[in-house]
Amino acid sequence: MWKQAQRSVRQCGKKAVRWTTQPLILTLLFMTWTCGDSQAERFETAGAFCQVCLPKRRRPGKTVQGFQKALARLPLNALRTLAAGVRRRLPTLSNWIVEGFVPIGCDGSRVECPRSQVLEQCLGKAGKEGSAPTIWVTALVHLRLGVPLAWRFGKGTASERDHLKFLVRFLPAAALLVADAGYFGHGLTQFLMSRRVEFLLRMSSNVTLYREDNTPLAKYREGLVYYWPSKKDEKKGGRPLRLRLIRLRGRRRKNDVWLLTNVMDSARLSRKLAGQMYRWRWENEGCFRTYKHTLKKIKLVSRTVRLVHREAEGSWLALQLLLAQGAAAQSVAAPTTAGPACSARQLLLVVRQEILGLVKRGSPPYVERLRRAKREQRRRTTAKDCRTWVRRKPHESPKPPRLLKLTAQQKQQITRDKCAAA
């Protein structure tokens, strides 16, 4: 992997400097894992540990300013090559395939950036007037391992649905894409079906579906529906899509979950399994929480566009490596399908002990300490209530999609499409 990363640097024609590829990337990763009040303080700790890890290599630079200049010259392909190498190793772990599917969640979030003049001009504003510049990150996360597979960055106003179209190329075989109600639209659904991607998407009142049966909505559980294209989608070659709609009853009727999938076989994807897969989607939310709060990446620190891109790529690579080490250790210890058992906070503490040299004599090996970094296993008996955020609207559950009956003209068009396909 290091040779491939070095090859990508040479292809860009970058000359050898004081900072070579391996020490530069390792220092970037260690700065993400270590703690410190400032970037200079984290650089001192990360640089010293990097020299300990590479004692026979030429020593890198000693100043954080030189590190930033070298990092700005580093091609992004070097970081993406390492992330691809980690992604290729994940299928060897247990819990990769669950009930014949590889559950992959997709979600996005904004990350705040400093208020430098360059970033304000290039990134713009994504919120209210006077808000700080932000970047939007969309990530694919394995819902059983809890490890991010791939990610995509854009401005704060970027479309997560467009990001998903780019990230489809990184989906593994037998993947089941699970996403929330933000990933709607006939164009996106037809794109996923054209790429032969199996999906499980939550529907909301933004979507209108047509059904053939006359089952009352109060008794509706699942059935076949047609996703009709709009006039704009028809001009782009859109056609009616025959899909399966699943309704999961909640404790309250307004909290029912409506899921749309192209897995038509109910024996392969039952209502119970579909509900379990969608509940696992919370692991995607937890991945962003780990990134922002555990790794302290609520706000990036770089003040130029090139450094922001590399800090974001490096921090997500560090998150991927951290969670992948925990998943590998837990996979060897207990190869079951019980789900992610490692705690990101405990994993980070184990890594920091290695960086700071706080491991006592006679302590268990590094891998054994990773195995012990488990999540809290107590059974929750009360609801997860959260405090109301200041200047933020309370969360409202998506409303059900609009279900209409097929008209005679629509039935004729479906018949014509069937005859043309035959």
Query: Any idea where the domains of the chain sit in the sequence?
Result: 98-285+402-421
Beta strand 134-142 with 222-227 is unpaired
Which tokens belong to 292?
């922002």
- State mean pLDDT over 246-270: 88
Cβ proximity of 31 and 46 under 8 Å: yes
Q: Look over the chain and give the mean of its residue pLDDT values, rounded to a whole number.
A: 90
Least confident of 172-181, 268-277, 374-383: 374-383
Question: In the chain, pLDDT over 90 holds for what percent of residues?
Answer: 68
Q: Are 113 and 134 in contact (CB under 8 A)?
A: yes
The answer to whether 79 and 318 have CB atoms below 8 angstroms apart is: no
- pLDDT tens digits along 45-94: 999 999 999 988 888 888 999 999 999 999 999 999 999 999 999 999 98
- Find which of 95-104, 331-340, 409-418 is predicted with most confidence, using mean pLDDT: 95-104
DSSP 250: -
With H, G, I as helix, E, B as strand and everything else as coil, classify residue 129. Answer: coil
Q: What is the pTM of this model?
A: 0.92
Residue labelled with tokens 């008209």 = 407
Beta strands in 53-180 (DSSP E): 102-112, 134-142, 148-155, 175-179
Residue 290 to residue 378: CA distance in whole angstroms: 20
Kindly state the percentage of the chain with pLDDT values over 70: 93
Integer Cα distance of 197 and 171 in angstroms = 8
Residue 333 confidence (pLDDT): 60
Q: 214 is written with which tokens?
A: 């006359």
- Answer left, alpha or beta for residue 185, where phi above 0 means left and psi between -120 and 50 means alpha: left
Other CB atoms within 10 Å distance of the CB of residue 283: 21
Q: Mean of the pLDDT values across residues 124-139? A: 89
Instruction: Inform me whether the pLDDT recorded for 44 exceeds 70.
Output: yes
Rounded to whole angstroms, the Cα distance separating 223 from 244 reads 6
Q: What is the pLDDT of residues 13-32, one digit of tens each?
A: 655 568 889 999 999 999 99
**Confidence category of residue 340, pLDDT binned at 50, 70, 90:** low
Best mean pLDDT range from 112-116, 236-240, 404-408: 112-116
Place of tokens 């921090």: 315
User: What is the per-residue pLDDT for 13?
Assistant: 65
Helices (H), 34-109: 39-53, 64-73, 76-89
pLDDT attached to residue 418 = 82
Distance between CA atoms of residues 306 and 301, nearest Å: 12
